[in-house]
Amino acid sequence: MNPTLYDILGVAPDASRDEVKHAWRDAAERFEPGSGGSTAQFRMFNEAAEVLLDPERRAEYDARLAAAEPRSGGTAVPPAALPTAPVPGASTATVTLTKADPADDRVEPSREPAPPVAADRVPDRTPGERETQKRGVPTVALVALAVITALVVGLAAYFAFEAKRAADYREALDRAPAAAERAAVAVLSYDYESLETDRDAAARFLTDDYEKTYVETFGLVEENAPDLKAQVEAQVLASSTMVVPTGDQDPDRVPVLLFVNQTTKSTANDGRPTTALNRVQLDMENVDGTWLVDGITSY
């Protein structure tokens, strides 16, 4: 599921203009470039606010959201393109038969043999000409034909490879976000009473290289969580694949942006649950058919 502009600012679809403006200012203060935030995230918040703070543009956006929602009868599937059918009667040749003159039936073919061809009228051929006649096609033409054939085959193979790569990337865009959502819940949640179990559960969603980094970072949690009796539960609100330039698109590596609520209970806040809205990028990598986390960036 793709995040909406309301998800980006963390407000409800029926939020008032003041609520949208407050959420935008809060996000801008926390993610302003140069203060530890992200320029890309800051721009994303501004673009969302520009639409939602403009009544006319917001109405158009809400209409697009409503039109995109699946109907109760199921997801609408666009009709497949129909093949072009031949047009009856098109390109049909008409043959006209003309009856011969009856008088022609009385004309009999000549029964006399054709006169012999004089020997001196048959042109002699040089050895080179006779060899060329045996070969049929000149060597230069054969070489040119071979080159053209190789070029056509090479181009066909290249386009087939690019078409398959594009199809594989589209499939990756469909599969990576769901895998990222499952991984985020395990990776971003823990309980001070079961830290070792939680760490091992999260490791199942990580590549071998990134698991080493995660275990080192998790050591800080193991040091502090027991003292604070910390419990963290992650809930994924929405996810979306991030835009990658065409030349950098890799069917085996897809960055996914997730909107995650982390609810924390600890003695630091007297055991009262506090919820933080986080934006996390998970770099998903396809390892032998399984999508695993190979990097995490928090915004």
Write out pLDDT tens, residues 150-172.
888 888 877 777 688 788 999 99
What is the pLDDT at residue 161? 72
Is residue 93 predicted with pLDDT exceeding 50? no
Residue 75 lies in a domain: no
Q: Domain holding 39: CATH number? A: 1.10.287.110
165 and 290 part of one domain: yes
293 DSSP β-pair partners: 206, 284
pLDDT tens-digit readout, 192-246: 999 999 999 999 999 999 999 999 999 999 999 999 999 999 999 999 998 888 8
Q: Please identify, among 46, 66, 86, the residue that sits at the C-terminal boundary of a domain.
A: 66
The model's pTM is: 0.52
187 and 292 part of one domain: yes
Residue 73 lies in a domain: no
What is the pLDDT at residue 122? 46
Residue 274 lies in a domain: yes
44 and 171 part of one domain: no
Q: Please identify, among 66, 94, 117, the residue that sits at the C-terminal boundary of a domain.
A: 66
For the chain, how many structural domains are there in total?
2
Q: Which residue has the higher pLDDT, 47 or 232?
A: 232
Q: Domain holding 216: CATH number? A: 3.10.450.230
Whole domain around residue 274: which residue ranges? 161-298
Is residue 296 predicted with pLDDT exceeding 90? yes
Is residue 58 predicted with pLDDT exceeding 90? yes
Query: What does the pLDDT average to over 42-47?
Result: 83
Q: Please identify, among 48, 66, 84, the residue that sits at the C-terminal boundary of a domain.
A: 66
167 and 275 part of one domain: yes
- pLDDT band with cut points at 50, 70 and 90 for residue 139: confident
Residue 77 lies in a domain: no
166 and 283 part of one domain: yes
50 and 168 part of one domain: no
Residue 177 lies in a domain: yes
Residue 193 lies in a domain: yes
Residue 191 lies in a domain: yes
Residue 133 lies in a domain: no
